[in-house]
Homo-oligomer: A and B are copies of this chain.
Amino acid sequence: MASLTIRLHPADNVVVAGADLPEGTALPDTGVVARTAIPSGHKVAVQAIAVGEPVRKYNQVIGFATAPIAPGDHVHVHNIGVGDSFERDYAFGADAHATDLVPEAERATFQGIVRPDGRVATRNYIGILTTVNCSATAARMIADQFRGNALAAYPNIDGVVALTHSYGCGMGSQGDAIDALRRTIAGYARHPNFAAVLVLGLGCEVNQIDKLVEVEGLTVGDTLQTLAIQESGGTAATVRASVERIRALLPRVNDVTRETVPASHLILALQCGGSDGYSGITANPALGHAVDLLIRNGGTAVLSETPEVYGAEHLLTRRAVSPAVGGTLVERIRWWEDYTSRTGGEMNNNPSPGNKKGGLTTILEKSLGAVAKAGTTNLVEVVRYAEPITGPGLVFMDTPGYDPVSATGQVAGGANVLCFTTGRGSVFGCKPTPSLKLATNTALFRKMPDDMDIDCGPIATGDATIEEVGRAIFQLILDTASGRKTKSEELGFGSDEFTPWQMGAVM
């Protein structure tokens, strides 16, 4: 049954119109009547709010009343604002609170693959990574030899995947850019979802294999092998040698079994892309509820996409477990300001005229739409792009907003499941980590049935609550981590989405 309004949290003093509401419409479950027409997606007050009092949506402050607001009033730019003092006050930890952990004995579990070092994998791949674009074709040729029925005798291997990129030369041999590239490659090399990795180089590139191994403290051996084409007799000889090496690994890589492990071994990457007006009221808050469940069960989630938080980083600093954690986030924000001023990018996350027309009033509210997918727990850690994610709890990784670049950093950091909310219909996979697609609206879910894993649209029509969909997402995360294939895995996505952040000038 369709509902006229969406309440994003029981403690909110506004609700969102799920359709254009004529003046005089009775708002369900509130005893309140709309005092003017309320356009779809816009907010209407369900309590009186005095001047200076906070307006709450997602149980978070999206602004303060600048005029007296009566129940049933349209709440928008004419009667709320952010306020200067709020804007300047990072209030580290002001909203932090103890996490309501589920008792150990009752915690959720999944069927994972426990690696020799105790880390837990959700998939079992062999990876071919490249130092430079020049070894990309050879890497793909090697992976090609393991397509079709080549792995039929090894049912526990999910595949041999080549993750190539366009970078690695024509760049400085030191500095932020090569550091980030090295972290990314090393993060994948260490990822528990890879049982074994071959790092393939050309030989004369700036991003030298030996230096990568040394700087990142990687250990070369059976499960991390390296090869350079120029030292191996050229392309054909390198491909032959690599295929032989990988064939020799197959029996051992196949020799794994899944066992019951606690959900605390999950590191969930959060993404949104191709957002629409429903993102902030259906899929993102539903994913946020799933994240709260995961973290209450001892797990970890990682929020990213710094440009989409920009200007509203207060939302996160107030939840930081310590001034140090909050301060690291602020430092990353400052880095972006400098970076974009130098490189001609634009940092402006303010609601656009279109956003405002759709009902988004303040920069806090707009960012909350994105941040809602991270739930309500404390921010425990802030890491740089592709750095290892420790957790447990909610972690922020500094990344661009561009989906493949952002997700590549998260997977490099150790994410072993990914949830991607989308309103327009993103198609995204990120081997070796399974990627779930959460549709913000039912029309999309029906239009792209082979790509979308779950429909969050029923929240908008009142046919499901945020909590109900959030629980379904959490269960799907557990099932996926246990081996259930995502839509993007069934289709074969995940090789071409590996996109390390190219931070410097191409020379």
Q: Interface of A with B (CB < 8 Å)?
A: 133-138, 140-141, 164-166, 169-172, 175-177, 202-204, 229-230, 233-237, 273-274, 307, 339-340, 342-346, 400-405, 424-429, 447-452, 491-497, 499, 501-507
Q: Which residues of B contact A342 (CB under 8 A)?
A: 342-344
Q: Which residues of B contact A164 (CB under 8 A)?
A: 496
B204 touches A505 (CB 8 A): no
User: Closest CB-CB distance, A332 to chain B, in whole Å?
Assistant: 14
The answer to whether A137 and B202 touch (CB under 8 A), given A230-B425, A450-B236, is: no
The answer to whether A234 and B448 touch (CB under 8 A), given A136-B496, A229-B425, is: yes
The answer to whether A502 and B507 touch (CB under 8 A), given A427-B229, A427-B235, A492-B137, is: no
Q: Which residues of B contact A405 (CB under 8 A)?
A: 166, 170, 506
B507 touches A134 (CB 8 A): no
User: Closest CB-CB distance, A245 to chain B, in whole Å?
Assistant: 19
B170 touches A202 (CB 8 A): no
Give the distance in Å from the alpha carbon of A233 to the alpha carbon of B447 in the complex.
Answer: 5
Q: Which residues of B contact A428 (CB under 8 A)?
A: 134
User: Closest CB-CB distance, A326 to chain B, in whole Å?
Assistant: 24
* Identical subunits present: 2
Give the distance in Å from the alpha carbon of A478 to the alpha carbon of B507 in the complex.
Answer: 32
Apart from A136-B497, A172-B345, A204-B274, list 16 A-B contacts with CB within 8 A: A133-B499, A134-B426, A135-B427, A136-B496, A166-B405, A169-B402, A169-B403, A170-B400, A170-B405, A229-B427, A230-B448, A234-B425, A234-B427, A340-B505, A345-B504, A346-B507
A307 touches B507 (CB 8 A): yes
B425 touches A203 (CB 8 A): yes
User: Closest CB-CB distance, A184 to chain B, in whole Å?
Assistant: 13
Q: Which residues of B contact A491 (CB under 8 A)?
A: 137, 141, 235-236
Give the distance in Å from the alpha carbon of A494 to the alpha carbon of B427 in the complex.
Answer: 25
Q: Which residues of B contact A426 (CB under 8 A)?
A: 134, 202, 204
A507 touches B229 (CB 8 A): no
Give the distance in Å from the alpha carbon of A428 to the alpha carbon of B448 in the complex.
Answer: 38
Closest 6 A/B residue pairs (Cβ) = A170-B402, A345-B505, A234-B448, A343-B505, A136-B496, A204-B424
Give the distance in Å from the alpha carbon of A69 to the alpha carbon of B339 in the complex.
Answer: 51
Q: Which residues of B contact A449 (CB under 8 A)?
A: 234
19 contacting pairs across A/B (C-beta < 8 A): A134-B403, A134-B404, A137-B427, A164-B496, A166-B404, A171-B402, A172-B346, A175-B344, A202-B425, A230-B274, A230-B424, A233-B447, A235-B450, A236-B491, A342-B342, A342-B344, A344-B505, A345-B504, A401-B507
Give the distance in Å from the alpha carbon of A493 to the alpha carbon of B427 in the complex.
Answer: 27
Q: Which residues of B contact A504 (CB under 8 A)?
A: 343-345
Q: Of B424, B499, B502, which contacts A203 at CB under 8 A?
A: B424
B429 touches A344 (CB 8 A): no
The answer to whether A429 and B137 touch (CB under 8 A), given A234-B449, A401-B507, is: yes
User: Closest CB-CB distance, A164 to chain B, in whole Å?
Assistant: 6
User: Closest CB-CB distance, A411 to chain B, in whole Å?
Assistant: 15
Give the distance in Å from the alpha carbon of A267 to the alpha carbon of B159 in the complex.
Answer: 42
Q: Which residues of B contact A204 (CB under 8 A)?
A: 273-274, 424-426
Give the distance in Å from the alpha carbon of A496 to the alpha carbon of B132 in the complex.
Answer: 11
A447 to chain B: closest residue by CB? B233
User: Closest CB-CB distance, A298 to chain B, in whole Å?
Assistant: 33
User: Closest CB-CB distance, A427 to chain B, in whole Å?
Assistant: 5
Q: Of B166, B345, B492, B493, which contacts A507 at CB under 8 A?
A: B345
| Residue among A235, A236, A497 having the largest count of chain B Cβ atoms under 10 Å | A235
B137 touches A495 (CB 8 A): yes
Q: Of B452, B493, B502, which contacts A502 at CB under 8 A?
A: B502
The answer to whether A427 and B138 touch (CB under 8 A), given A234-B448, A491-B235, A502-B506, is: yes
A234 touches B202 (CB 8 A): no
A274 to chain B: closest residue by CB? B204
Q: Of B136, B234, B273, B450, which contacts A450 at CB under 8 A?
A: B234
A501 to chain B: closest residue by CB? B506
Q: Which residues of B contact A202 (CB under 8 A)?
A: 274, 425-427
Give the distance in Å from the alpha carbon of A177 to the alpha carbon of B138 in the complex.
Answer: 29
User: Closest CB-CB distance, A235 to chain B, in whole Å?
Assistant: 5
Give the distance in Å from the alpha carbon of A405 to the alpha carbon of B167 in the complex.
Answer: 10
B141 touches A492 (CB 8 A): yes
A427 to chain B: closest residue by CB? B235
Give the distance in Å from the alpha carbon of A344 to the alpha carbon of B340 in the complex.
Answer: 13
